[in-house]
């Protein structure tokens, strides 16, 4: 979870976000090591007696600071590329949903079911259990522990369908379809927001996905179809 004073990433609810968090932690460790080494060498070059003269023209040192950055860049590139391809891969999704951005709300369609579509607006009259600026009048109901393909587009300007806890951020571009994999390992609500500055009410078009057990999801679909 996140809140004031929280310095880490959001809790990971999907396999892709867990991999992103591990990659982030690894890169952070490498960056701290580099900064510590640079500060250590800078101190002795500036204040070490005779140290700066001893390193001038040192071939071994030149080879060292040429090879070490190459190895560090390679160690950062491999997990980063793995993370990129892992996030983009669709592993045989169970179903598909389509999210269309509008100024300033989202509309959703369940492509695998007839007549299941709705608009999702931010709630202005909140209950005790609602989250300010994130709760919506109609959440997207999805089955937990299932891979869902999210197809994202826009009807007017560029939006961005972003869910940090799932490691998902897809640009919604007019006239174009982008896709991503959505999956949650836990039952509950997952919140997000449009992360593209799309107009004056940009911050008031939240996203809410409610992950429920599969039988409950099927019952919800039957109710929606019969309405």
Q: Residue 172 sits in a domain of what CATH number? A: 2.60.40.420
The pLDDT score that the predictor gives to residue 8 is 67
42 shares a domain with 102: no
120 shares a domain with 73: no
- Helix ranges (H only) for 48-116 are 51-55, 59-88
**Cα dihedral across residues 218, 122, 192, 13: positive or negative:** negative
203 shares a domain with 107: yes
Domain that holds residue 61: 15-47+57-88
175 shares a domain with 78: no
Identify whether 10 is part of a domain. no
207 shares a domain with 139: yes
The token pair at 174 is 């007019």
What is the number of structural domains in the chain?
2
Q: Report the alpha-carbon distance of residue 176 to residue 154 in Å, rounded.
A: 8
Q: Give SS3 for 158.
A: coil
The last residue of one of the domains, among 34, 68, 88, is 88
Q: Report the alpha-carbon distance of residue 119 to residue 116 in Å, rounded.
A: 11
Which range is least confidently modeled, 52-56, 148-152, 177-181? 52-56
Q: Report the alpha-carbon distance of residue 101 to residue 7 in Å, rounded.
A: 30
Identify whether 163 is part of a domain. yes
pLDDT tens digits for 168-204?
Answer: 999 999 999 999 889 999 999 999 999 988 888 888 9
């Amino acid at each position: 979870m996140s809140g004031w004073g929280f310095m880490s990433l959001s809790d990971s609810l999907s396999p892709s976000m867990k991999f992103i968090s591990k990659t982030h932690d690894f890169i952070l460790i490498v960056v701290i090591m580099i900064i510590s080494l640079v500060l250590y060498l800078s101190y002795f070059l500036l204040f070490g007696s005779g140290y700066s003269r001893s390193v001038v023209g040192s071939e071994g040192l030149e080879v060292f600071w040429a090879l070490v950055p190459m190895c560090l860049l390679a160690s950062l590139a491999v997990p980063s590329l793995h993370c990129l391809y892992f996030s983009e891969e669709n592993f045989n999704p169970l179903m598909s949903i389509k999210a269309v951005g509008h100024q300033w709300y989202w509309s959703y369609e369940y492509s695998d079911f007839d007549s299941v579509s709705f608009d999702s607006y931010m709630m202005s009259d909140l209950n005790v259990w609602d989250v300010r600026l994130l709760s919506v009048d109609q959440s997207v109901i999805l089955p937990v522990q299932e891979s869902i393909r999210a197809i994202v587009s826009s009807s007017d300007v560029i939006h961005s369908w972003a869910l940090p806890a799932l490691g998902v951020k897809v640009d919604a571009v007019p006239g174009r379809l982008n896709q991503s994999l959505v999956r949650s390992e836990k039952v509950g609500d997952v919140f997000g927001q449009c992360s593209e500055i799309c107009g004056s009410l940009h911050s008031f078009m939240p996203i809410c996905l409610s992950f429920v057990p599969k039988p409950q999801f099927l019952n919800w679909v039957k109710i929606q179809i019969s309405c």
